[in-house]
Structure 1
Amino acid sequence: MHELLLAGFVTYDDASRIYRIGPTISEIAGYTSAVNSIGLTSRPILRSLASEFPVTSSLIERTYGDQYLMVVEAERAQSGPAIYVSPGNRVPILAGAAGQCVAAYSSFEPAQLRREFDRVRWEVPISFEDWQSQLDIVRERGYSIDKNFFRGATVVAVPVFSFERMTRMVAATFISSNVGRELEQRIIEALHNAARAIEAAMGENGEAMPSHREARRG
């Protein structure tokens, strides 16, 4: 019980000799409630993507003190083969397309960027220098596309902003050989629209006002 007190999971009232729920539990409960809220809000938007395209659509957010990315919500393609992405799954903060968005829109120090990159297990190896050189392109286009984290799969991620800070990404994961360039561009456009719709929904729920940030697309 002493360890729980130190961690803030419980508090102790000397007068009544009663243990009560501590601030850490309250913080976890608040975080869980927020995750559930944005998950429910994004679900119809993600479902629309998964019904229109042969993709698994997902909402991903930064978590655990910016050490990891976590899938908040996911919808699998409604027809044909698809890559399954499970809500609750987490990966290192710079993994895949979503991680590249984090790197492009955050202020990591060079040493930290390299350290976090080295935590990622790339199924198709890529050098840090080649990966880093793509960050300006991500900012220019307003999305990231990755074919290195999962072999045979492509992941496209578009940032979602809250109070002008990128807190989440909406992503589409698909089998690379099943999607040509023209369809890929349509998916990217749909992801941009989905990101703006999620921002608007977040504003309506009081979490944040939509940023109305229009990145260049290419």
Structure 2
Amino acid sequence: MDAEVNINDKNAAKSSLVTVKPVVNAVRILRFLSQAAAPERSVDIARKLDINPSTCFNILRTLVTEDMVDFSPMSKRYSAGLGLARLVEQFVTQGQKVQLAKPLLESFAARSKVTVTLWRRMGLDRIVIVSSAACPTDVRIDMSEGQRLPILMGASGRLYASQLDLDQPQSKAIFDKIRWGGTLSYEEYRDQVRDASKRGWAIDDGNFSIGILAVAAPVYSPSDTIEFTVSAVMFRGQRDETGIAELGQSLRNLCDELRSVLF
């Protein structure tokens, strides 16, 4: 009897699942391209998968933007992108590498009396916490793994911003949509990004959240792009200007250690 109840419960759960058709179609397209022997035209993909041609084209264009699909302007054909292959590889190995980095984060958090977060870029306009370690004290700041922010936000955002063209209207548009904790003009922000690039670490003093100060340093990939950042989060006033600079340099040293673990 118990087994029958469990089976019925599972069937009921499946029947109650809500599916989002564009997401389903995107997965079908990715599966199709990963199995295709040669690049395909949008119209042929739509016909073979029985997807509305306009919908198929828009999904493909979005997947190209996210590096999941490659597009050849010469042949007008689509194929599985390098981003998809990297994503599959990362599912297998990146999680393990992040776990290996965890003890380093925990040690730094306890030694420096800060909360440490490991951030990674997600798509074109977001960053996400993939690991976090809080200082083992009664009063501390907790940052949850999986938390996402706009790519320009916080101390880590200033580092990722150094790889973007801040003179482009798109960058200004992203900035204007952010709800900053304190007053910050775009000109001030660009100056802070330049300063961060010169010294090798960035600071957010109350702009992410009033009363919170964060210092971040980059973890460079073998191709010298910023793949991860490490941020130390604390209460404002916890360190003076000299202490903040020392923390920034300590984070740079930590990032050098993490680079050998994560890549």
Q: TM-score, normalised by structure 2?
A: 0.66
2:254 is matched by which residue type in structure 1? A
Aligned to 2:239: 179
Aligned to 1:58: 117
Whose Rg is larger? 2
SS of 1:178's equivalent in the other structure is coil
Match for 1:133 among 165, 170, 191? 191
- Percent same amino acid at aligned positions? 24
CA distance in 1, matches of 2:226, 2:86: 21
Aligned to 2:215: 156
Match for 2:229 among 169, 176, 179? 169
CA distance in 2, matches of 1:91, 1:178: 24
Match for 1:8 among 23, 27, 31? 27
SS of 1:38's equivalent in the other structure is helix
SS of 1:157's equivalent in the other structure is strand
Q: Is the 8 A contact 1:71 1:89 kept in 2?
A: yes
CA distance in 2, matches of 1:25, 1:194: 30
Aligned to 1:119: 177
Q: CA RMSD in A?
A: 2.6
Say which is worse superposed, 130-139 or 151-160, in terms of deviation: 130-139
2:120 is matched by which residue type in structure 1? E
Unaligned runs of 5+ in 2: 1-18, 36-79
Match for 2:248 among 169, 188, 199? 188
Superposed CA offset, 1:78-102 (max 9, x none): 1242111111000111111111111
Q: Is the 8 A contact 2:129 2:146 kept in 1?
A: yes
1:40 is matched by which residue type in structure 2? Q
1:154 is matched by which residue type in structure 2? L
CA distance in 1, matches of 2:211, 2:176: 21
CA distance in 2, matches of 1:9, 1:174: 45
CA 119–34 in structure 1, closer or farther in 2 if over 3 Å, else same: farther
1:189 is matched by which residue type in structure 2? Q
Match for 1:68 among 113, 121, 126? 126
Unaligned runs of 5+ in 1: 14-22, 208-218
Q: Is the 8 A contact 2:130 2:145 kept in 1?
A: yes
Instruction: Report how far residue 72 of structure 1 moved.
Output: 0.5
Instruction: Report how far residue 5 of structure 1 moved.
Output: 5.6
Q: Which has the higher helix share?
A: 2
Say which is worse superposed, 117-126 or 68-77, in terms of deviation: 117-126
Q: Does 1:43 align with 2:62?
A: no
1:97 is matched by which residue type in structure 2? A
Superposed CA offset, 1:113-143 (max 9, x none): 1011122210112111111122221111011
2:95 is matched by which residue type in structure 1? N
Q: Does 1:92 align with 2:111?
A: no
Superposed CA offset, 1:17-38 (max 9, x none): xxxxxx8998765444444133
Q: Is the 8 A contact 1:154 1:176 kept in 2?
A: yes
CA distance in 2, matches of 1:37, 1:115: 36
Aligned residue pairs, count: 193
Q: TM-score, normalised by structure 1?
A: 0.78
Superposed CA offset, 1:44-102 (max 9, x none): 11111111012100110100x22111001000011242111111000111111111111
